């Protein structure tokens, strides 16, 4: 597996993705193709004017408007790619990589795959010698994720698989007992998957759950403790506050993303081990039907995406991936229609 697109440097080449920043900070992402034009309401830029320029150059469109051209970072890409489910934001992805101790060469299980944002960070961290096994129970989400990952890499990574189905049922079929180094769960009810995950994890392996609400945090913490198979769970959240730094006007930004989710981690004990300070098993915490109702997608305020809208996004992700593969050096001839769709799909507001 190579991260052919993401790690490129040097002058812009045909097939590169380039992020253009217009005069009002509006972002447009294009994939460079000789002879093609990028159109906006402010005029057109010939892709040929960009090919050969160093990364970080300014180009002028046919109406004299200037655009800054840079290869997008992975964080730029995930924030502008088509979404099915809500993504893990870069601030949380960075903490997930650190707190779950994702390392080059690791075997990692991830569920659900959603839009593939976290998959991209995990693939980068495990490198070509690692293996990422992702699980997703909705095939439309899996399609969006596949398209996004292929667009970023210019190909389907060989060390990545998506298995369709519920993790609790599918994982035992896909992973041998004690074969997985790290498990990262981003789903509504991670406690339902603890048996399967605990069997797959190696002793000393890390389980990390990313959850959105305190009710989920409480339930998964108690469920992890109740197994008796893990170290004491550690929970936290990450708040990143941007700063305005200009001359003497140095202050926090007025707006910030205040809440995304909580992280909770615990390490798998060796079979038969009891934590020294926990000779007594914690009593099983009971939950009423009303508590459980509080964890349904509707009650949690999760935005429900219609199947029709999802199919449209999956087609956009697929078209972007086709264009990305086609423009990869040595790839198939580009499909002009697909390339057009890819440009509008890659545009960020």
Ligand X SMILES: C[S@@+](CC[C@H](N)C(=O)[O-])C[C@H]1O[C@@H](n2cnc3c(N)ncnc32)[C@H](O)[C@@H]1O
User: For binding to ligand X (CB under 6 A), which residues are involved?
Assistant: 85-88, 111-112, 114-118, 135-138, 141, 166-168, 186-188, 193
- Pairwise CA distance, residues 109 & 103, whole Å: 13
SS3 call for 151: helix
- Pairwise CA distance, residues 32 & 333, whole Å: 14
Residue 166 has what DSSP assignment? -
Nearest-CB residue for ligand X: 112
CB of 190 to ligand X, least distance (A): 8
- Pairwise CA distance, residues 61 & 40, whole Å: 10
* Tally of CA atoms within 13 A in the half-sphere of 32 that contains its CB: 26
Pairing type for strands 262-267 and 201-211 reads: antiparallel
Q: Which is nearer to ligand X, 168 or 226 (CB)?
A: 168
CB of 82 to ligand X, least distance (A): 11
Q: Which is nearer to ligand X, 65 or 300 (CB)?
A: 300
Q: Which is nearer to ligand X, 85 or 201 (CB)?
A: 85
Q: Which is nearer to ligand X, 114 or 233 (CB)?
A: 114
Q: Which is nearer to ligand X, 28 or 83 (CB)?
A: 83
CB of 78 to ligand X, least distance (A): 8
CB of 152 to ligand X, least distance (A): 12
23-29: list long-range contacts, CB under 8 Å, 24+ apart.
23/65, 23/66, 26/349, 27/76, 27/80, 27/347, 27/348, 27/349, 28/67, 28/343, 28/346, 28/347, 28/348, 29/72, 29/76, 29/77, 29/80, 29/343, 29/346, 29/347, 29/348
CB of 166 to ligand X, least distance (A): 4
Residue 294 has what DSSP assignment? T
Q: Which is nearer to ligand X, 157 or 334 (CB)?
A: 157
CB of 71 to ligand X, least distance (A): 22
């Amino acid at each position: 597996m190579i991260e052919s697109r993401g790690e490129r440097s040097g002058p812009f080449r045909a097939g590169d993705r380039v992020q253009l920043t217009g005069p009002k900070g509006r972002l447009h992402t294009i994939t460079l193709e000789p002879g093609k034009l990028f159109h906006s309401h402010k005029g057109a830029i010939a892709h040929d004017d960009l090919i050969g320029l160093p990364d970080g150059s300014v180009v002028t469109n046919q109406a004299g408007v200037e655009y800054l051209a840079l290869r997008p970072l992975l964080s730029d890409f995930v924030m502008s790619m088509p979404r099915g489910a809500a993504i893990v934001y870069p601030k949380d992805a960075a903490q997930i990589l650190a707190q779950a101790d994702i390392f080059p060469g690791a075997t990692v299980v991830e569920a659900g795959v959603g839009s593939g944002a976290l998959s991209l960070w995990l693939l980068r961290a495990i490198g070509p010698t690692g293996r990422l096994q992702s699980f997703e129970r909705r095939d439309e989400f899996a399609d969006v994720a596949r398209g996004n990952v292929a667009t970023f890499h210019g190909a389907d990574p060989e060390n990545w698989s998506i298995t369709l189905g519920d993790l609790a049922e599918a994982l035992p079929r896909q992973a041998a007992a004690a074969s997985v180094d790290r498990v990262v769960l981003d789903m509504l009810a991670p406690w339902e998957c603890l048996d399967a995950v605990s069997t797959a994890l190696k002793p000393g392996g890390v389980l990390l759950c990313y959850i959105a609400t305190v009710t989920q945090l409480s339930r998964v913490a108690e469920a992890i403790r109740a197994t008796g198979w893990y170290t004491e769970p550690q929970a936290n959240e990450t708040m990143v506050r941007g700063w305005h730094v200009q001359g003497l006007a140095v202050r926090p930004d007025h707006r910030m993303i205040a809440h995304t989710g909580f992280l909770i981690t615990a390490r798998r004990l060796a079979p038969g081990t009891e934590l020294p300070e926990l000779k007594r098993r914690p009593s099983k915490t009971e939950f009423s039907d009303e508590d459980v109702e509080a964890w349904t997608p509707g009650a949690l305020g999760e935005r429900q995406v219609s199947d029709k809208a999802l199919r449209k996004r999956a087609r956009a992700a697929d078209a972007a991936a086709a264009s990305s593969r086609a423009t990869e050096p040595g790839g198939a001839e580009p499909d002009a229609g697909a390339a057009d769709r890819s440009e509008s799909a890659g545009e960020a507001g």
